[in-house]
């Protein structure tokens, strides 16, 4: 089986990283923070731009989960035009736009995940696909956009009853923000299964010999 090198940017939970690892791929999460997913050996604790540039890695696919606080419509009361922190919204759009454009230069397949927000009105992004957790086995609502470069829309894997808005009802806690932004396991599994299959098929169809891919990477710590 072809083994893909996959970078999951801005992910501390390692949910998507673990889904790709379960399928045998060479996946790494990357975040400024320590990971909470239990696999520090698969975690690049560094700036996402540095991870994209890492020598010895040749990323086939990057899935990005950039910060959404200033971009999401849920923050409009604070970040919309005329509000106190509008400047921060513009900065966040600029950073996310740079991340999207930069990643596409170095990686052939890219997905960027964010809640409903102003990426398309203030930035220059393709039209997103919107998905819901209830399409992937979780009886909850959380409308999420996927901006895709060379990747197909994600197909629902298990449509279930239940439309609870669980993330908003979470009680206050130190981890509330982290828990709210953690990727659902059903969505992570769908990304890993559908997108790895799509890329491997594309390699086979184009008859590309992927000599540049590195198998059995050295541990991140020894690369730095
Ligand atoms: C909205 S959360 C995404 C969480 C993700 N869905 C998960 O399951 O872990 C955004 C994440 O981006 C990380 N982050 C912010 N700036 C970053 C940077 N320059 N490089 C890497 N990660 C960054 C934050 O620490 C945070 O964990």
Q: What would the two tokens of residue 99 be?
A: 């991340």
CB within 8 Å of 84: residues ≥ 6 apart: 78
Q: What would the two tokens of residue 59 be?
A: 């990323």
- For the chain, what percent of residues have pLDDT higher than 70? 88
Sheet arrangement for strand 26-31:
43-45, 26-31, 5-9, 61-64, 109-115, 144-149, 129-131
User: Ligand 1, closest atom to CA 13?
Assistant: 9
Residue 40 alpha carbon to ligand 1 centre in Å: 15
pLDDT band at 163 (very low <50, low <70, confident <90, very high): confident
Would you say the CB of residue 18 lies under 6 angstroms from ligand 1? no
Domain 5-223 has CATH 3.40.50.1000: no
Distances (CA, A) of 39 to 14, 15, 20, 28, 31: 8, 11, 13, 10, 13
Q: What is the pTM of this model?
A: 0.91
pLDDT at 168 over 70: no
Mean pLDDT of 134-154: 97
Residue nearest to atom 13 of ligand 1 (CA): 10
**The pLDDT of residue 169:** 66
pLDDT at 12 over 90: yes
**The pLDDT of residue 56:** 82
Would you say the CB of residue 31 lies under 6 angstroms from ligand 1? yes
Would you say the CB of residue 15 lies under 6 angstroms from ligand 1? yes
């Amino acid at each position: 089986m072809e083994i893909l090198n996959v970078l999951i940017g801005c992910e501390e939970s390692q949910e998507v990283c673990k889904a790709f690892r379960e399928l045998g791929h060479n996946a790494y999460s990357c975040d400024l923070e320590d990971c909470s997913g239990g696999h520090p050996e698969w975690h690049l604790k560094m700036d996402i731009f540095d991870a994209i540039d890492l020598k010895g890695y040749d990323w086939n696919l990057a899935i990005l989960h950039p910060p959404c606080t200033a971009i999401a419509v849920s923050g409009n009361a604070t970040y919309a035009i005329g509000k106190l922190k509008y400047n921060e919204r513009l900065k966040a759009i600029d950073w996310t736009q740079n991340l999207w454009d930069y990643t596409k230069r170095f990686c052939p397949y890219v997905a960027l995940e964010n809640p409903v927000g102003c990426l398309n009105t203030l930035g220059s992004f393709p039209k997103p696909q919107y998905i819901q957790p209830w399409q992937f086995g979780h009886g909850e609502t959380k409308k999420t956009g996927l901006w895709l470069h060379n990747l197909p829309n994600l197909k629902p894997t298990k449509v279930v009853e239940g439309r609870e808005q669980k993330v908003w009802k979470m009680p206050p806690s130190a981890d509330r923000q982290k828990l709210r932004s953690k990727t659902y396991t059903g969505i992570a599994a769908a990304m890993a299964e559908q997108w790895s299959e799509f890329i491997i098929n594309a390699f086979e169809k184009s008859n590309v010999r992927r000599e540049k891919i590195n198998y059995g990477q050295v541990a991140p710590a020894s690369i730095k």
